Amino acid sequence: MKHIRSLWKKHKLGILITVSIVAIIYMSPLLWMFITSIRPTRDIYKFPPTIIPGEITLNNYVYVLTKMEGFKRYLLNSIVVTTATVIIVVVASAMGGYAFGVRRFKGQNFLFIAILSVLTLPYIMYLIPIYIMEDRLNLRNTWWGLILPYVALNLPWGLLIMRGAFSTVPLDIRDAAVIDGCNEFQMWYMVLLPIVRPAIAATTIITFVFAWQEYLFASTLMTKNEWQTLPVGVVWMRDELQTLVYGRIGAMIILSIIPVFILFLAFRRFFIEGLREGMIK
C-alpha cells in the first residue's frame, strides 16, 4: 500500500492526464451523439463537419417525446420490466445473501457454486430453452416474459455481491441483535440491511443496467411491436423514420440512457464501495 501511495505522489499528474485522455476517448461517441441531437438537420450534413454546432435546437427531443407514440410505449415497457426485475433481484439476493453469508446449513457451498455456475456460460446459450418454455407457457409478448429471464440471469450476480457483504458483518453485531431480542427477520431487516447498503446499491445498478439495455432477449421473445423495450424500439423507430434523420435518432438514444446516468450518479459512492466489500470478499 505504501508503495502504491508513493507511486501516486510521484506520478500524480501523469496518471491524471492518462486517465483523462482515456475517459475522453470512451466518452467521445456519446458526446458526439448528444451534439448531433441538438443540431438542426441542415447543420448535421454541413461539410466540412464541425464539433461545435452552429445552432442549438431541442426540436429533435420535442418530436421524439410528442410525435413518436411508439417511443412512449417502449419507454413504459422498459420502466415496468426494469423496475420489476430490480426489485425482485435485490430482495431475493438480499435474502439469499443473508442465508449464504450468515447462516450455516448442509450443502451450502455446493448450492452456492451451483447457482454461480450460471455465470460460467454465455447468457445467449439460455435463449433457445427459455424461448421454448415461454412459448409453451404463453409468456412471450408479455412483461413477465422478460422479467423472469432477467431475474434468473441477474440473481447469481446479486447473490455473489450480497453474500460477500453479509459475511463481512462482525459476529458481535449479530450477537448484540439477538441479545436485544431481535428475531431472524428483524435482525436481517433492521440491523444487517442498513450495514450492507453499498452492496444493495451495487446490485441495483448492475441489474438496472442489464435489464434496461438488454437487446437479444427482448428482440427474440417480444415479437410484437407494442411489447418491445427501448433498445429494440429505437431500432424499430429508426427504420420507421425511413431516412437517416440523425438528430432524432440521437435524441432517442440520449433519452434512453439518461436513467442509467441518473442512477449511477445517485449511487456511485455506494456502487464502488459495494463492489469492493462484496465481490472482493
The predicted-structure confidence for 55-73, as pLDDT tens digits, reads as follows: 788 888 888 888 777 788 8
Cell, residue 207: 441489474
In Å, what is the CA distance from 194 to each residue of 172, 181, 187, 200?
16, 18, 10, 9
**H/E stretch holding 111:** helix 108-116
To the nearest whole percent, how much of the chain has pLDDT over 70?
Answer: 88
- In angstroms, the Cα distances linking 274 to 101, 172, 195 are 15, 21, 11
pLDDT computed for residue 171 by the predictor: 77
CATH top-level class of 58-278? mainly alpha
The residue whose grid cell reads 443496467 is 209
Q: What is the pLDDT of residue 240?
A: 63
pLDDT band at 257 (very low <50, low <70, confident <90, very high): confident
Task: Round to whole Å and give the CA distance between 159 and 173.
Answer: 22
How far apart CA 218 and CA 232 sit, in angstroms, is 7
Q: Comparing 102 with 13, which gets the higher pLDDT?
A: 102
Q: Give residue-wise pLDDT tens across range 174-233.
A: 778 778 788 888 888 888 888 888 888 889 988 998 999 899 999 899 888 888 898 888
pLDDT value, residue 278: 47
Per-residue pLDDT of 29-56, as tens digits, reads 888 888 888 888 777 777 776 777 777 8
